[in-house]
Amino acid sequence: MRKNRILIAVVVVGALAGLGYFLIQSLLPTTGRSSRVIEWIRHAQDHPDWAARAGSLCAPGTPFVMPTDGLIGYLWDDSFRPGHRHSGLDIFGGTEVGLTPVVAAYPGYLWREPTWKSAVIVRVPSDPLEPGRQIWLYYTHMADPYGNSFISSDFPAGTTEKYIEAGTLLGYQGNYTGDAANPSGVHLHFSIVLSDQEGNYTNELEIRNTLDPSPYFGIPLNGKTAPDEIAGCENGD
């Protein structure tokens, strides 16, 4: 009798573990990318070929340059928990905070809201891939866990409509999340945000307000379809 009970317990535990693994795999397609991000954060110096380079073009003829150095760790439409859809790219510098430069991927007019410690947003009056449509480019996590900003002093809080060229230094990667006890890994979050009817940027946290960055960089950056290993973008041309 006792042996049977143990056998049943083993079968039940095994089935639950299998079900759990299946759920994680099906709901969180980022699992493979996460292991790369963790390895990169721990041992970036061992994997120089994994890094994208700030200012580089990933493919000839595409409009955006890479906005920072590092591993393109998480993609647009990756999922970090059931039901979540990630609205941009997370690029991990592999350094401490305040060291890895962030540059403009495309020219436009920079805004920084008076309360923003870690983010800027750049108005692009005409989408290079859909001329006439206005879009916004959002760059965030440029502060330390306590909200000490790494944004360039050229763009103080309250900046509006300041014209910048592609490649302009915006600041440095940080790990600010708004919760000092739970900082993120050091990275840049970059997203392409749609305008509303009045021409204001929409809520970037909603994926339907953002665009798949793949065609703007010329490499697969859609979390649902891209492979785990993302191209380094060191020499696209």
Residue of minimal CB distance from Zn ion? 189
Gyration radius of the chain over CA positions: 20
Question: Measured from the CB atom, is 77 or 144 closer to Zn ion?
Answer: 77
DSSP state of 65: P
Question: Measured from the CB atom, is 87 or 168 closer to Zn ion?
Answer: 87
Question: Measured from the CB atom, is 72 or 124 closer to Zn ion?
Answer: 72
- Under the criterion CB under 5 A, does residue 90 sit at the interface with Zn ion? yes
What's the min distance (Å) between Cβ of 141 and Zn ion? 8
Question: Measured from the CB atom, is 123 or 187 closer to Zn ion?
Answer: 187
Amino acid at residue number 205 = L
Using the contact rule CB under 5 A, the part of the chain among 89-97, 169-177, 210-218, 222-230 near Zn ion is 89-97
What's the min distance (Å) between Cβ of 6 and Zn ion? 46
- Under the criterion CB under 5 A, does residue 69 sit at the interface with Zn ion? no
Token representation of residue 56? 């580089």
What's the min distance (Å) between Cβ of 224 and Zn ion? 16
Using the contact rule CB under 5 A, the part of the chain among 14-22, 60-68, 82-90, 220-228 near Zn ion is 82-90
> Quick check: 58 and 233 in contact, CB under 8 A?
yes
Which residues inside 171-200 make contact with Zn ion, applying CB under 5 A? Answer: 189
End-to-end Cα separation, the chain, in angstroms: 71
Phi, psi values for residue 215, rounded to 5°: -70, -20
List the one residue out of 167, 228, 234, 236 whose CA is nearest residue 38: 228
Using the contact rule CB under 5 A, the part of the chain among 84-92, 116-124, 178-186, 197-205 near Zn ion is 84-92
- Strand 135-140 and strand 169-172: the pairing is unpaired
Residues in binding contact with Zn ion, number by CB under 5 A: 2
Which residue do the tokens 């350094």 mark? 95
CA distance 75 to 58: 15
Binding-residue pattern over the window 109 to 128 for Zn ion, x denoting contact by CB under 5 A: --------------------
DSSP labels, 19-39: HHHHHHHHH-TTHHHHHHHHH
Residues at the contact surface with Zn ion, assessed by CB under 5 A: 90, 189
